[in-house]
Chain A
Amino acid sequence: MRYIEPHGHMVSRTTDDYQAMVLAGCAAICEPAFWAGFDRKSADGFYDYFCQLTQHEPKRAAKYGLPHYSWLCINPKESEDMALAADVLALIPEFLKAPTVLGIGEIGLNKNTRNEMKVLEQHIALAVQYDQMILVHTPHLEDKRKGTRLIMDCLKANGVVKPERVIIDHVEEHTIHEVLDQGFWAGITLYPESKATPVRAIDMIESVSAQRVWLNSACDWGHSDPLSVPKAAQEMRRRGHSAAAIDRLVYGNPVKFLSQSPRFKDPAAQA
């Protein structure tokens, strides 16, 4: 089996995780910028983090034969500080020149505040200015439904963003239909406790047209599982889905979305 991990925070993971993912069939990994678990105090911290994402982590992944791509932003959890957000946004254009950067992400909302909304709008404007794809983080738990709707309204209000170049991640049963109905791609994040489990993810896949859906582990420093995508593939196999259908979901779909960036190379075409 082959698969793409389209959303993993590998700077938080060990080399054992890289090894296990490759053994499970991972062919490429994409890493959106995210919250470190604590608030960074200055743009310098982000400068170093963006260097890590665009220079150092691709080298670490390459030791396991894995192509590594990244997305850049200031995470909504740190967007309450508008001055810091402005300083970080000003750094991003320089890093967009890096050959493995695919776009702006994971942007979005956390607690659905006015400042988070303003920074989201600024990120969207930046993506439009530099013709970048967008990867969206939707809020957690009770804030997800409201935040997902606010984010989609914000993307549509921009007027230029093409929905097919935006993936709205962390959808669940109460948001996936609206996201797909509005023309966006939907990401299902597989977490042991919050978000979706592999079993629920496949229930969702069986209830929607899954042509614009990807699965990801979003593995990070918290309770998460870097092998959750192959575990979801195993769940599909248990239910009788064909090998071709599994491949379309865990490999073909992410390749289709990511290939909208000329920087992403289909690993199969490189073999």
Chain B
Amino acid sequence: MSDPTPPRSREQVADLHFMDARYKLLDLAAFLDRLDRAAGGEDHRVRGLRAALPLLLEKDEGRVARILTLWSDPSVAPIEKADTKAASGVWPGLK
């Protein structure tokens, strides 16, 4: 058997992690503001980030997995050849 998760209240979770989540949300807002002040069009990574924001407000648990899945390449077959070794963080084909 796996070890059981110790019981905890939502207040206890907030006590532990609220400030961490707060600064990360503010950092995200600042990033979006910074983009607004910059020139040029929006690239696929930022499109993907904006597309993920509504998922944060969904009621069911599993938000991280749903966001990661949204950003994932949905194809199933190996590709013939890659033009880069790197990954960008969001599948470029995401609309």
The residues of A with any CB-CB pair to B shorter than 8 Å are 77, 80, 110-117, 139-146, 149-150, 172-174, 194, 199-200, 203, 206, 208-211, 238-242, 244-245, 248-249
Closest A residue to B83 using CB positions: A111
The smallest beta-carbon distance between A152 and chain B, in angstroms, is 12
A114-B79, A141-B71, A146-B76 given as contacts; is B2 within 8 A of A210 (CB)?
yes
Closest B residue to A200 using CB positions: B64
The smallest beta-carbon distance between B19 and chain A, in angstroms, is 12
Closest B residue to A109 using CB positions: B78
Which of these, A143, A210, A242, A249, contacts B73 with CB under 8 Å? A143
Cβ–Cβ contact A174 & B68, under 8 A: yes
Q: How far is the CA of A200 from the CA of B67 in the complex (A)?
A: 14
Which of these, A146, A194, A241, A242, contacts B72 with CB under 8 Å? A146
- For B, the interface residue count at a CB cutoff of 8 angstroms equals 34
The residues of B with any CB-CB pair to A shorter than 8 Å are 1-3, 5-6, 8, 16-17, 20, 62, 64-66, 68-69, 71-76, 78-82, 84-91
Instruction: Determine the main DSSP class of B at the interface with A.
Output: loop
Q: 23 A-B contacts, Cβ less than 8 Å apart? A: A111-B84, A113-B78, A113-B79, A114-B80, A117-B78, A140-B86, A141-B71, A143-B72, A144-B72, A146-B74, A172-B65, A172-B68, A173-B62, A173-B68, A174-B68, A210-B2, A211-B2, A238-B16, A239-B16, A241-B3, A244-B3, A245-B3, A248-B3
Cβ–Cβ contact B2 & A173, under 8 A: no
Chain B residue contacts of A142, Cβ below 8 A: 71-73, 87-91
Closest B residue to A212 using CB positions: B2
Closest A residue to B92 using CB positions: A142
Q: How far is the CA of A146 from the CA of B72 in the complex (A)?
A: 8
Q: How far is the CA of A142 from the CA of B73 in the complex (A)?
A: 6
Chain A residue contacts of B76, Cβ below 8 A: 146, 149-150
The smallest beta-carbon distance between A125 and chain B, in angstroms, is 18
Q: How far is the CA of A117 from the CA of B69 in the complex (A)?
A: 22
The smallest beta-carbon distance between B14 and chain A, in angstroms, is 13
